[in-house]
Structure 1
Amino acid sequence: MSVLSIPVSAMIPVARPYIGSEEEKAVIDVLRSGWVTQGPRVAEFEEKFSSYIGCDYSVAVSSCTTALHLAFMAIGVGPGDEVICPSLSFIATANSITYTGATPIFADIDLSTYNIDPARLEEVISPRTKAILVVHQIGLPAEMNEILAVANKHGLVVIEDAACAIGSEYDGKLIGKPLGTMACFSFHPRKILTTGEGGMITTSNAKLAERLRRLRQHAMSLSDVVRHNATQVSSETYDEVGYNFRMTDMQAAIGITQLGRLASFLERRRYFAARYTKALQNLPWVQTPVVPTNCRPNYQSYMVRLTGDSATKRDAIMQNLLEKKISTRRAIMATHREPPYRSAHWESRLLQTNLACDTALILPLFHQMTESEQDYIIEALRTC
């Protein structure tokens, strides 16, 4: 019996969150506690996240998008400023800059890693450049040492969009112990650790952490927890315009439980990624992921790039796989091709970004995937 003759009763998804009875119980406990908004479980999640990452401060928020927005507000990015970032990223990366009134300036990528190319930074730096937003794309760390060298030369702040990078390592250290000023994580269901929605900002700067905590909660001078536990009557003040970017205790309870499972999540994803690479590396028209020696990715996604004649047939190949009940996704979007950011200027300058966007695809990878399902995917791809 060939692998392709193995019956597949249901669609194999690109990703699937792993939620068990422990997460369900954690949420029920919060519901029964009477405290469901940002409270003690959020504080516990922040403490445990800092302990895992090895950073000084973690600030939980409602999403990675709001994390990035707050990070820029905290360092004073605003109208008239420019922030360099890759176009090859989910549109939230650029949007978080735009929210502040600043302008995203796109730098091209290194095609081998899909991350921002340090050698392309100098050409987009201007007198208005305030910061560099580095994306650790698909969980593969960007070349931070070279990026920081450029940033330090020009006096620029570096923020890390670590939405996909929990558990990834650069130079033997976990992403999130910020090499830049702050790192921002996502807990969306497509991510390895999920809280449904949610995000986290990590930093080693105490003043920034305090400002982030205030901004996420309407800039209140006293948090709900402090007021609730006070032994004397106290009133808060609102000294600036803040935001409602809070995480709930229900989300935090899920996050705490997921954090305890993270090591097993990472081990299993790396195992399946290694199987993919071994099985596909001899296909001449498939470029498997390139991993620099100083990086250890978490394989939040397993993305391959098609070459030769197959590159022009990517969408047909994806349709062929879909008909075999295998769900795939196009490569990461090129933000500069979306209406809010579209321009001929970027289209002509981001050639590596365009190539990656047009020729790569993401294969299924999730905790519950079986070897049989993966073998079926591999054989189906070989026969496309």
Structure 2
Amino acid sequence: MTTLLKPAPAMIPVARPYIGEEEERGVLDVLRSGWVTQGPRVAEFEAKFAEYVGCEHAIAVSSCTTALQLSLIVSGIGPGDEVICPSLSFIATANAIACIGATPVFVDIDLSTYNLDPAAVEAHISTRTKAILAVHQIGLSAELNTLHLVAAKHGLKLIEDAACAIGSEYDGQLIGRPVGDIACFSFHPRKIMTTGEGGMITTRDADLAERLRRLRQHAMSMSDVTRHNAKQIAIETYDEIGFNFRMTDMQAAVGIAQLGRLDSMLDKRRSLAQRYSNALEHLSWLRVPYVPENCRHNYQSYMVLLIGEAAAQRDHIMQRLLERNISTRRAIMAIHREAPYRSASWEDSLPQTSLVTDTGMILPLFHQMTEEDQDYVIEAIHEVQL
């Protein structure tokens, strides 16, 4: 085994949330206020998030998974319907569809971007298809204009799984002002900005926004804040079956602080990603990320694709890096290989998805990562023995 010239540092993780004193103060203020559930800070977070992405309405919820579920429900999708989506995604993409009784129909990806291949989508549309759920994979926008044309042609809803895409751009517009109907974001700690757990839905449709706000809180006809501030007795009603998908004011306080530092976090990630690409693009056994000219990546993850002999040795390479205190992760999962969705027919129809999930490798990238840390990772990759 080759020995690195530099001593191994402490473990370099794949990701690490960046939380500072502003977040701590925000949570403490909420705790002292006496209002800790969904309330004024959630409303403030929603307004600031909507302003940031340039969309009329933002609705905070408990996770991106629940955001997707609610978005499908208000789009009129339910049992017996089909929703086209990629298999190359976290399993929550498909689970959100299955949990409302609909069926996910997996479509292969464009190998250059790891996003849904619009050319393959149309071939999978049936009389039961009601929506296309496009994932902006690891922060790179899907080809929204083409997907929107396909959706419009067939009378389908277009919903964006933007879990990883905060700060990403498509055609000069931040992801979050949907090209289709709705976009859904995640604030899990693995994402660029976090509220611990949490999600956000954005839409330009005022009627959808109003219904989403009701459904996240048991379909209650008025919010707790409205009822609390009422000058006369106010008795709420429940006109349909709803859910407890609320965000707390404590989470929102963290989100407000995170949103305030988001641009600096994006700048740092893009700078580190460019350093990776500059240092690794000449290696013949891996491929660095490709970004179309009309997109701006946020690099929620930095994933390389291993080629040739290296592809067959991915797990060996990951182990060698781990032995040098460098944590990596396999590529994005293939949902169709997991037990709830496993089928031999999917394996045959999703060759690019299978290729990426088998040969991709995610490298460490996080705000606190120093150039010295990154140089150590780059050096270790250069010294890999195939």
| Matched residue, 1:330 | 330
Partner of 1:311: 311
Question: Given the alignment of the two structures, is residue 277 of structure 1 paired with residue 268 of structure 2, yes or no?
Answer: no
Counterpart for residue 354 of structure 2:
354
Corresponding residue number in structure 2 for 1:252: 252
Distance in 2 between residues matched to 1:139 and 1:315, nearest whole Å: 24
1:161 aligns with 2:177: no
Do 1:30 and 1:253's aligned partners in 2 also have CA atoms closer than 8 Å? yes
Deviations 1:277-306 (A, max 9, x none): 000000001100010000001000000000
Q: CA deviation at 1:3?
A: 9.8
Distance across 2 between alignment mates of 1:159 and 1:337: 24
Q: For 2:28, give the aligned amino acid.
A: I
Q: Secondary structure at the match of 1:5?
A: coil
**Who is 2:199 aligned against?**
199
**1:63 Cα shift?**
0.2
**Is 1:65–1:92's contact at 8 Å kept on the other side of the alignment?**
yes
| Match of residue 216 from structure 1 | 216
Contact 1:89 1:335 in 2 (8 A): yes
Write the mapping of 1:53-132 to structure 2, written as runs, cut at 5 A: 53-132=53-132
Question: In structure 1, what residue type is equivalent to 2:143?
Answer: E
SS at match of 2:131: strand
The answer to whether the Cα contact below 8 Å between 1:3 and 1:375 also exists between their aligned partners in 2 is no
Cα distance per residue 1:179-223 (max 9 Å; x no partner): 010000000000001000000000000000000000000000011
Amino acid at match of 1:264: S
Partners of 1:139 and 1:166 within 8 A in 2: yes
Whole-angstrom distance in 2 between the partners of 1:380 and 1:286: 14
* DSSP 3-state at the match of 1:319: helix
Counterpart CA distance in 1 for 2:146 and 2:47 is 31
User: Deviations along 1:206-242, whole A, 9 cap, x unmatched?
Assistant: 0000000000000000110000000000100111110
Give the TM-score, by structure 2 length.
Answer: 0.98
1:190 partnered with 2:190: yes
Residue type matched to 2:341 in 1? Y
- Aligned partner of 2:255: which letter? G
Residues 54-84 of structure 1, C-alpha deviations (whole Å, 9 max, x = no match): 1000000000000000000111110110000
Give the aligned residue type for 1:240.
E
Counterpart position of 2:179: 179
Q: Distance in 1 between matches of 2:64 and 2:180?
A: 17
Instruction: Report the secondary structure of 2:313's partner residue.
Output: helix
Query: Partner amino acid for 2:85?
Result: C
Instruction: Find the counterpart in structure 1 of residue 294 from structure 2.
Output: 294
User: d(CA) in 2 for partners of 1:8 and 1:188?
Assistant: 29
* Secondary structure, aligned partner of 1:239: coil
Report the Cα distance in structure 1 between the residues aligned to 2:342 and 2:183, rounded to whole angstroms.
27
Q: Displacement, 1:22?
A: 1.0
Indicate the larger mover: 7-16 or 19-28.
7-16
Partners of 1:3 and 1:379 within 8 A in 2: no
| Structure 1 alignment gaps of length 5 or more | none
Separation of aligned partners in 1, 2:358 and 2:9: 31
Q: Report SS of the residue matched to 1:51.
A: helix
Matched, 1:226 2:226: yes
- Residue matched to 1:6: 6
1:263 to 2:258 alignment: no
Residues of 1 paired with 2:93 and 2:55: CA distance? 23
The SS at the match of 1:45 is helix
2-structure distance, mates of 1:259, 1:140? 19
In structure 2, C-alpha distance between the alignment counterparts of 1:236 and 1:367, rounded to whole Å: 45
Task: State the 4+ residue runs in structure 1 displaced beyond 3 angstroms.
Answer: none
User: What amino acid does structure 1 have at the position aligned with 2:151?
Assistant: A
- 1:76 and 1:147 map into 2 onto residues whose CA distance is 19
| Aligned mates of 1:268, 1:6 — CA distance in 2 | 24
Residue-by-residue CA offset, 1:158-187 (whole Å, 9 max, x unaligned): 000000000000000000001010000000
Residues 75-108 of structure 1: CA deviation (Å, up to 9, x unaligned): 1110110000000000000000001100000000
Query: In structure 1, how many angstroms separate the alpha carbons of the residues matched to 2:157 and 2:229?
Result: 37
1:6-29 per-residue CA deviation (whole Å, 9 max, x = no partner) reads 233421000000011110010000
